[in-house]
Amino acid sequence: MCGIIGYVGPRQSQDILLAGLSRLEYRGYDSAGIAVIDGDGGLGMRKRAGKLAVLRDDLASTPLADGTTGIGHTRWATHGGPTDANAHPHLADDDKLAVIHNGIIENFAELKSELVGEGVAFHSETDTEVAAAMIGREYVRTGDLVAAFRAVVSRLEGAYTLLAMHEDHPGLVVGARRNSPLVIGLGEGENFLGSDVAAFVEHTRKALAIGQDEIVAITPEGVEVTDFSGAPVEVEAFEVTWDASAAEKGGWSSFMAKEVSEEPEAVANTIRGRIHEGRVEIPELDGMDAFLADIDRILVIACGTAAYAGMVGKYALETWTRVPVDVELAHEFRYRDPVLSPRTLVVSISQSGETMDTLMAVKYARSRGAKTLSICNTQGATIPRESDAIVYTHAGPEVAVASTKAFVAQITAIYLLALHVGRVRGAVDPVVAVEAVTELEAVPGKIARVLETEQARIEQLAHWMADTRSVLFLGRNVGYPIALEGALKLKELAYIHAEGFAAGELKHGPIALIEPGQPVFVVVPSPRGSAEMHKKVVSNIEEIRARGARVIAIAEEGDAAVLPAADEVLRIPLAAPMFEPLLAVVPLHIFAMGLAEAKGLDVDQPRNLAKSVTVE
């Protein structure tokens, strides 16, 4: 996820671009850049790895000639690490054309080899530079930037917002969008483009929404929007109802609220480009088939929420690869004498890629001869750099300290890994693999449904429970790590005692905790999976209810067996049992956030915690 801004008008654009980027920085902050067409009609560009402040300082010490047409970008790396060269804008047509991009162009490798064949030289590892070169090639033919966009967009697969300007046309910025956001800001004698209204809300609250697969051209005098074939389209106008101070959170009350709302997108973006004709093929693992076919053990290491994603992943890895899997907390692994071999694959999971416990465990595993693979959300972070292979999650930047959207992206990535390794080893039946892929592709829509149908009710429930002093969470099988995650989120956000248990463990001790009024969340497995397991969890509910517990069940739509036993039932859409964790966790994230908000706590920065734990 990246932030994009474009400006045309009478004012000097650099300050407008930098101010817009600072409000878009929540969308990505590993590098930034701007391009400006100056008063003499020349195109100037500056881009730097690091936070926006690095670019700002650079421009302050050696300014670009100012001009009144410009584009700016703040990046969260996907293709190519966060370096100066990979930062946007990217140039083409002898540096007269500048392009910025948000999204992932899935077929960029194939397009790049076509361009390399024509003698085009590339200066970065990005997919964006490929789009820039293609727009440049088309522009040279016609001298028409909009026509060049029209010719190129139909060849791009994946998700993208692209903005471009050319020094032959001061006062014009052209944009296009597919599966990625872009809005227009309407000013007086000036116009804006932005990834969201945060880019320009300081200057205007009048906005136009650009639809899917549309191209827009802005000039100081007006705005023209067409579809990809060039036919004019009607655009929907709206008034922005919030002001610049709320802008950096995109209008949400907290980063966490925003990030929970992005859980569908986090899953969809992590899948993107990794499924080809129903088969999972992770391009980053090309060349590893021989090793993956020969592994005899997988060890997953991580901390906190990432470790719970690993615990969920164990079920999928064992089912689809038939390789034994252990999951271990990184700090525990680090100080023992583990049995590892060159046939062991150690998978680390980390949102930040900087967690010291996980990093040290990865180094330790390597020093003991194992191969390491990093599942990480932050391009260019230390853990992926220290690993033999990397599978990035594409959840976008996670700003709130407590991890939410990264968790669902981590589970998605480990499922993709399991299906990839299972295919390479011939361990997963191709029909089963296709069914799993279909289920996975349906998850974003199902999470969106949970948010749509249950969020308000769960927030209300959290409000009623604001004085609760202790909450228990039960789950079984893939639902067990979800119970642990529900408890962890509640502890860290709402500062109340919370414990997660394997439901089967209840009778071995924890049932003694049940007293009248004790709230217990129960993640109920689908009766369509193992009927036996479903029956057992329903009996658990009956047992605790008989002792006075207040039961809140998370159960699939249509599961009537839970109704007589539970006080509240939160519904999730039907999914194959392996995919339920991705849905069942959503109500628990909403609940923890809602309860913390009801207590008036800061959900983005809970006490005593840091986003990235860079000490052991």
Nearest to 473 by CA among 572, 553, 586: 553
Angle made by CA atoms 142, 94, 88, in degrees to the nearest 5: 100
In the complex, the smallest distance separating the C-beta of residue 381 from ligand F6R, rounded to whole angstroms, is 9
- In the bound state with ligand F6R, the residue whose beta carbon lies nearer, of 235 and 307, is 307
In the complex, the smallest distance separating the C-beta of residue 492 from ligand F6R, rounded to whole angstroms, is 6
Binding of residue 350 to ligand F6R (CB under 6 A): yes
Q: For residue 270, how far is the Cα from the chain centroid?
A: 7
Element (H, E) at 183: strand 183-186
Contacting residue, 321, 355, 382, 540, with ligand F6R by CB under 6 A: 355
Binding of residue 411 to ligand F6R (CB under 6 A): no
Cβ-closest position to ligand F6R? 304
Q: How many helices (H) and strands (E) does the chain have?
A: 18, 26
Binding of residue 257 to ligand F6R (CB under 6 A): no
Taking a C-beta distance cutoff of 8 angstroms, is the pair 579, 440 a contact?
A: yes
DSSP per residue, 501-553? EEGGGGGGTGGGG--TT-EEEEEPPPTTS-HHHHHHHHHHHHHHHHTT-EEEE
3-state secondary structure at position 169? coil
Task: Name the active-site residue from 2, 249, 303, 371.
Answer: 2
- In the bound state with ligand F6R, the residue whose beta carbon lies nearer, of 8 and 488, is 488
In the complex, the smallest distance separating the C-beta of residue 196 from ligand F6R, rounded to whole angstroms, is 25
577: preceding bond cis by omega (within 30 degrees): no
- In the bound state with ligand F6R, the residue whose beta carbon lies nearer, of 92 and 301, is 301
Sheet holding 470-475, edge to edge: 497-502, 470-475, 519-523, 550-556, 568-572
In the complex, the smallest distance separating the C-beta of residue 613 from ligand F6R, rounded to whole angstroms, is 5
Whether 303 is catalytic: no
User: In whole angstroms, how large is the CA radius of gyration of the chain?
Assistant: 25
User: Helices 145-153 and 128-142 meet at what angle, rounded to 10?
Assistant: 130
- In the bound state with ligand F6R, the residue whose beta carbon lies nearer, of 106 and 492, is 492
Residue 294 CA: distances (Å) to CA of 313, 344, 410, 424: 20, 9, 24, 10
- In the bound state with ligand F6R, the residue whose beta carbon lies nearer, of 292 and 402, is 402
In the complex, the smallest distance separating the C-beta of residue 446 from ligand F6R, rounded to whole angstroms, is 22
Contacting residue, 140, 209, 442, 613, with ligand F6R by CB under 6 A: 613
61 Cβ contact partners less than 8 Å away, ≥ 6 residues apart: none
Residue with tokens 């509640």: 490
In the complex, the smallest distance separating the C-beta of residue 81 from ligand F6R, rounded to whole angstroms, is 17
- In the bound state with ligand F6R, the residue whose beta carbon lies nearer, of 123 and 497, is 497
How far is 21 from 52, CA to CA, in rounded Å? 8
- In the bound state with ligand F6R, the residue whose beta carbon lies nearer, of 313 and 527, is 313
3-state secondary structure at position 43? strand
Residue 611 CA: distances (Å) to CA of 357, 387, 608, 615: 14, 22, 10, 12
**Phi, psi values for residue 237, rounded to 5°:** -90, 145
- In the bound state with ligand F6R, the residue whose beta carbon lies nearer, of 492 and 604, is 492
Whether 2 is catalytic: yes
Longest dimension (CA), the chain: 81
In the complex, the smallest distance separating the C-beta of residue 410 from ligand F6R, rounded to whole angstroms, is 8
Sheet holding 97-105, edge to edge: 90-92, 97-105, 158-166, 173-178, 214-218, 223-227
In the complex, the smallest distance separating the C-beta of residue 347 from ligand F6R, rounded to whole angstroms, is 13
Cβ neighbourhood burial of 168 (10 Å; 0-12, 13-18, 19+): middle
- In the bound state with ligand F6R, the residue whose beta carbon lies nearer, of 152 and 391, is 391
In the complex, the smallest distance separating the C-beta of residue 444 from ligand F6R, rounded to whole angstroms, is 21
Residues of this chain, 483-502, that bind ligand F6R according to CB under 6 A: 488, 492
How many residues touch ligand F6R (CB under 6 A)? 15
Taking a C-beta distance cutoff of 8 angstroms, is the pair 160, 272 a contact?
A: no
How far is 539 from 409, CA to CA, in rounded Å? 32
Binding of residue 412 to ligand F6R (CB under 6 A): no
- In the bound state with ligand F6R, the residue whose beta carbon lies nearer, of 68 and 382, is 382
Contacting residue, 351, 455, 468, 540, with ligand F6R by CB under 6 A: 351
Contacting residue, 165, 402, 447, 593, with ligand F6R by CB under 6 A: 402
Binding of residue 22 to ligand F6R (CB under 6 A): no
In the complex, the smallest distance separating the C-beta of residue 268 from ligand F6R, rounded to whole angstroms, is 20
Site track 285-314 with ligand F6R (rule: CB under 6 A), x = hit: ------------------xxxx--------
Q: Could you tell me where the DSSP H helices lie in 222-303?
A: 244-247, 255-261, 263-271, 289-294
Cβ neighbourhood burial of 607 (10 Å; 0-12, 13-18, 19+): exposed
Task: Name the active-site residue from 206, 363, 536, 611.
Answer: 611
Residues of this chain, 358-387, that bind ligand F6R according to CB under 6 A: 358
AA identity, residue 35: A
- DSSP letter (8 states) at residue 66: P
- In the bound state with ligand F6R, the residue whose beta carbon lies nearer, of 167 and 492, is 492
| Length reported for the chain | 616
Residues of this chain, 433-492, that bind ligand F6R according to CB under 6 A: 488, 492
In the complex, the smallest distance separating the C-beta of residue 10 from ligand F6R, rounded to whole angstroms, is 45
Pick the piece of the chain touching ligand F6R (CB under 6 A) from 31-39, 335-343, 349-357, 543-551.
349-357
In the complex, the smallest distance separating the C-beta of residue 305 from ligand F6R, rounded to whole angstroms, is 3
Helix, strand, coil shares of the chain as percentages rounded to 5? 40, 25, 35
Binding of residue 270 to ligand F6R (CB under 6 A): no
3-state secondary structure at position 12? coil
Binding of residue 594 to ligand F6R (CB under 6 A): no
Pick the piece of the chain touching ligand F6R (CB under 6 A) from 40-48, 261-269, 350-358, 456-464.
350-358
Binding of residue 68 to ligand F6R (CB under 6 A): no
- In the bound state with ligand F6R, the residue whose beta carbon lies nearer, of 254 and 403, is 403
Q: Are strands 279-280 and 223-227 parallel, antiparallel or unpaired?
A: unpaired
Active site residues: 2, 611
Interface positions with ligand F6R (CB under 6 A): 303-306, 350-352, 355, 358, 402-403, 488, 492, 612-613
